[in-house]
Structure formats: structure tokens, C-alpha cells
Chains A and B, each alone.
Chain A
């Protein structure tokens, strides 16, 4: 069974940092591009970042460029999102998603002093 399990969310102060992880199982992780998508409370879906299957190519939304870094460890079947200089507007549920539309359950990031 395909599973994507996010972790690492929590409460962080404005300007702080957080690293999200997404543990994948049930499929050949190294064969798929992976994405991070977020959803602010009561709002719609916003693409955050993406990484190719081998990690050689990455994409960032303008809203996070220069502050967030996506990476992956195919030996550990894990996707990461290193988030820095966090702002109130980064508060959201962060989902990891496989390129063909399979999503994890999400992890909540709260940015507040």
C-alpha cells in the first residue's frame, strides 16, 4: 500500500526555521518526482515546491523562493522541506504529494509569537 507520512510540523516563531519530512513506503520512491503543497486555514491549495526523481531538478513558488529548500534521500525513501525565515503567511497544513496525485495526510505548521 502506498503511504506518505509527513512529520515535523509544529509551532515556530516568526523568523524561525523548521524541517518537514515525508516518509514514503509501498512504492519505488526513487522513480517519482515529489511535491510539497500547502493549505492555509480555510483556504485553497498552493503549490510550494517540487523535486525530480533523482533530486537533480527543483522548483519553488515565488512566495518561498530563497527561504525554503526541498531535498530527498532516495536511500531513506524520504522527502524533506527545510523552511527558514518563516512568516505568518506560511502557516498552513503542508502536504507531500507524489507526482501522480497521491497525497500524505499533512502536517500543520503554525507561525506565531
Chain B
């Protein structure tokens, strides 16, 4: 299985901060990467697919970049509703494995 490693596992930030989360694949996955946001007691919500394509309805402060093995999710200016756990997922090979998650907390 392809291993997905996210960093950091958690971070504290303030409203208005720029936040960057990284995800590294154990082997090349081209651009077959998705990002999800999960709030407590809720299902994950898709934010980005194909590494950098924004899902419909997702605010433009979210962006994704990268290809191959290294990927980044950036929130340009953190809003109160962005405090959540973020997961990356590779869709290159079966099984479509997830990263361990990054918890974004209020500073």
C-alpha cells in the first residue's frame, strides 16, 4: 500500500493566519491526490481533487499544489470555520490510502 504522511499532525493558528499542511506519498502518485476537511461529529468534506482543483463551493482561500510525492494544502487566511482536521488521500492505487490527518486548532 502507498503510505501517506502528513505534517504537522497538529498546529495552532489564529484567524487570518496563512496555514500550510504538507502530505508526502511513499511513491509517486502523479496528481492523484485529494484533500478533505472534517469537523467534529461530521463526515469528511471534499475540498480539493487532482492535487489542485477546487471542489465546487469551496472557498478560494483553499488551494492545493504538488505532484509526484510532495503535496501542499494552503489556507491563505484562516477563518473561524476552518478549524478542523484535514486529511490527504491518494487515488493513484488501491487502496486509496489516507494520511494521518492534521488538526488545525485555535491559538
Contact = CB atoms under 8 A, between A and B. Distances in A.
Interface of A: 35, 44-47, 50, 59, 61, 95, 100-106
A44 B43 contact: no
Given A47-B95, A47-B97, 7 more contacts: A44-B98, A45-B98, A45-B101, A59-B94, A95-B43, A101-B49, A103-B45
Q: Is the interface of B mostly helix, strand, loop or mixed?
A: loop
A101 B95 CA distance: 15
A113 B85 CA distance: 32
19 contacts: A35-B96, A44-B87, A44-B100, A44-B101, A45-B36, A45-B44, A45-B87, A45-B101, A46-B98, A47-B97, A95-B43, A95-B44, A101-B36, A103-B43, A103-B44, A103-B45, A103-B46, A105-B43, A106-B43
Interface in B11-68: 34, 36, 42-46, 49, 55
Nearest to B43: A103
Interface centre among A46, A47, A102, A106 (most CB of B within 10 A): A47
Contacts of B44: 45, 95, 103
Contacts of A106: 43
Contacts of A102: 46
Contacts of B55: 101
Interface centre among A44, A95, A101 (most CB of B within 10 A): A101
B5 to A, nearest CB: 12
